Chains A and B, each alone.
Chain A
Amino acid sequence: MTRKQKRMSVILAGLAFLGAAAGLTFYALGQKASYFYMPADLATASVPPGQRIRLGGLVEKGTIVRGQGATVAFSVTDKQKSVKVTYTGILPDLFREEQGVITEGAFGPDGVFVADSVLAKHDERYMPKEVADGLKAKGVWQESKSQ
């Protein structure tokens, strides 16, 4: 090989590498990203059981039930629809009734959402952004009142 060919092959190898990385990235985005839904969205979007999604909304008042051991059941609502969620583990400290929450997991065959993680925000003054946007879009959330 001449010097020029050598250099070309090095550059081609680099480009092939970058291409492979880009391909992998976009494949992974398609496969591994989890979509965010509010309870009312689930009526129109069909989410098969087992597919990982994020479910956000408010913790519906009076629905928190502590079951056997460390399992907790509650409903997530956007004031239009609500979805039953079960979670085994320790709830975040800022998890309260009527507060914004994001759960991640998948629907079980019985239609109950089994969450493996529950997020509430660090700071009690703020609502998770997706939830706030979603509620605003549905017209059930006003900007925070004067503090």
Chain B
Amino acid sequence: MVETGHFALVLAFALSLVQMLVPLVGARTGNQRLMAVGGPVTVTGFALTALSFAALASAYAGSDFSVASVWENSHSLQPMIYKITGTWGNHEGSMLLWVLILTFFGALVAVFGNNLPATLKANVLAVQGMIGAAFFLFILATSNPFIRLNPAPIEGRDLNPILQDLGLAIHPPMLYLGYVGFSICFSFSVAALIEGRIDASWARWVRPWTLVAWMFLTGGIAMGSYWAYYELGWGGFWFWDPVENASFMPWLAGTALLHSAIVMEKRSALKIWTLLLAILTFSLSLLGTFLVRSGVLTSVHAFATDPARGVFILCILTLFIGGSLTLFALRASQLTAGGLFHPISREGALVLNNLFLTTATATVLVGTLYPLALEALTGGKISVGAPFFDLTFGPLMLPLLAIVPFGPLLAWKRGDVVAASQRLMAAFALAIAAMLVTGLFINGASVFAALGVGLAVWLVAGALTDLAVKSGAGSVTPAVMLRRLAGLPRSVFGTALAHLGLGLTLLGIVGTLCFGTEKILTLRPGETVELSGHTLRFEGLTPQKGPNFTEDRGRFLLMGAGGNPDGEITSAKRFYPVRQTVTTESGIRTLGLSQLYLSLGDENKDGSVVVRLWWKPLVTLIWGGGLVMMAGAAMSLLDRRLRVGAPAKRRKPAAALANPT
């Protein structure tokens, strides 16, 4: 029932207006009844949005071409999975997914927020309602997915072949869960500004939301990077493309927020800064949405763009960023500052972390927006790419990564750098050893490569040191140590895992960039090629047929040590007749942590084929590290102290320690 979905969407918009006004008035006047409206309205709004989304998804699944968006982005012959993922593989549908997640998070606050002060909850829901109302209006006014065609065309125009991939099922929903998750932090901050006070429970609420959003954003970025890596056939995992930067900036700011929220929760310090950071993080998410949708920047990942939409989002952007920052300027002075601390302390380390991360965010922001500004001012067109970011972002990251292992080992309030350094001696020795081994024994290793490997090992070893020190390694027997390890708060594991994951990602990046090899050549069937010790034999091209495409699939045999085939890699050129589009399916074979990657070019007249192949050592660690970071965030979320609303069961300490497994 397409029209039911359309009606539900309109109704959800009406409810979001109620949600944004009534609880706000209730909180201003202290009227309990008005404040109580927020909860049920938010939940109902979510249910209606879900209904609307389900209606659109079923129209896509059933190839209902009387819906314009289905007609433009689907085809009756697509496999069912791509028919369904096609629901959000276009601008209109993805915006609906965006608000679906927004209302879902709002509903979570409404349902589980009973232990929040009533006025705070009312204000948070009202701010969520404002964001919701703005985006519902945006959808209805410029990007309505329910526009109908009468009479209905008989066949659709197919989903962009690049998007016909499992990546579309995972990457955008994760990314939106991340982007939109930060809206809750934003709403809490604005609510606190409206009230003019920050409760102690504020940080308790904001921290887990930051964790959730950060976890999904990490996963979304990692997934997107892997998707681009295998789908685009260029073998690159990160291009410093504006669209990538658009998701990377909230991640950097969100990482800073994650750390400053810890200080705020534990020590009631950095309150105002954390609040500002929460506003900035979500603002950067909105900016990302604007950059991606408006087409003001050229990107390799862009959606179909429409300037009218860009102007609308720009208005939303100005309204929310301008409004919240103005409110901040007016109210920040009323908020009480928190506890004091010595520069050398856990807080000090976290402040340093924030300083580096926000500066890094600023560099990425400048690099992304400078071409826009320059074009607006002088008309000159430039592109800012990897060389710029290598020169600015790189030097900021190196010292930050170097100090990461110190942070968790410093005490709150007043730390002891010397003691922390002593504990890190083993990790430091390991890192130096790794650096020397890389520099001296691996052919072609540059100073930079050795430094990178050393830094990565330093991060990994530092994270493990943290766990070892906290479980009392060296001073107690191994049995006691294990027991203590099992009894450590889960957030300690979370921190260690996240830092470890960062080290793994760095190792993957350094491995791929510094030790990867690459060849471009033409091959005839039967010819072999050798790359970094791997021999491949080209078997030839065979034409094949898929559900909505035809392809020429090239087979390559991986030759083992004895000259016997040891598995095969296939890569294909696909032709999608509906859009008259060719895509390249790259062939990837994972060997240990490394990958052989090959991509097929055009066939020459003499039957030979252009082939580009890469050897990418340790490349899987780039995304594996991302997964470990996600696991760290999940671990921290499981920590009872962070689970908001969880009943504070008093377990006996003995019981907690009794189970070493």
Contact = CB atoms under 8 A, between A and B. Distances in A.
Interface of A: 6, 10, 14, 17-18, 21, 24-25, 27-29, 31-37, 52, 54, 66, 69-70, 88-91, 93-94, 102, 104, 119, 121-126, 128-130, 133
Contacts of A126: 302, 304-305
A119 B363 CA distance: 25
**Of residues B162, B383, B582, which shows the largest number of chain A Cβ atoms within 10 Å of its Cβ?**
B383
B555 to A, nearest CB: 18
Given A69-B521, A90-B612, A123 B382 contact: no
Given A21-B396, A33-B370, A66-B604, A122 B520 contact: no
Say which size band chain B's interface belongs to. 35 or more
A126 B307 CA distance: 13
A50 to B, nearest CB: 14
A103 B565 CA distance: 39
A91 B602 contact: yes
B517 interface: no
Contacts of A90: 233, 520, 584, 599-602, 610, 612
Contacts of B384: 29, 32-33
Interface in B361-391: 362-363, 366-367, 370-371, 380-385, 387-388, 391
A36 B381 contact: yes
Interface in B584-636: 584, 599-602, 604, 610, 612
A11 B387 CA distance: 31
Contact of A33 (B388, B580, B582, B610): B388
Interface stretch (B113-121, B175-183, B192-200, B293-301): B293-301
A29 B366 contact: yes
A24 B391 CA distance: 8
Contacts of B387: 28, 31-32, 52
Given A17-B355, A66-B602, A35 B522 contact: no
A37 B379 CA distance: 12
Interface string B104-123: 00000000000000000000
A21 B363 contact: yes
Contacts of B370: 29, 33
A39 to B, nearest CB: 14
Given A54-B383, A124-B579, A124-B581, A89 B392 contact: no
A93 B602 CA distance: 9
Given A21-B392, A129-B297, 9 more contacts: A6-B343, A31-B387, A33-B384, A33-B388, A35-B380, A69-B521, A69-B610, A70-B612, A90-B610
Contacts of B366: 25, 29
B612 A89 contact: yes
17 contacts: A17-B355, A24-B395, A25-B363, A29-B367, A32-B385, A33-B383, A33-B388, A54-B381, A70-B610, A89-B601, A90-B233, A90-B610, A90-B612, A104-B385, A122-B160, A122-B302, A123-B304
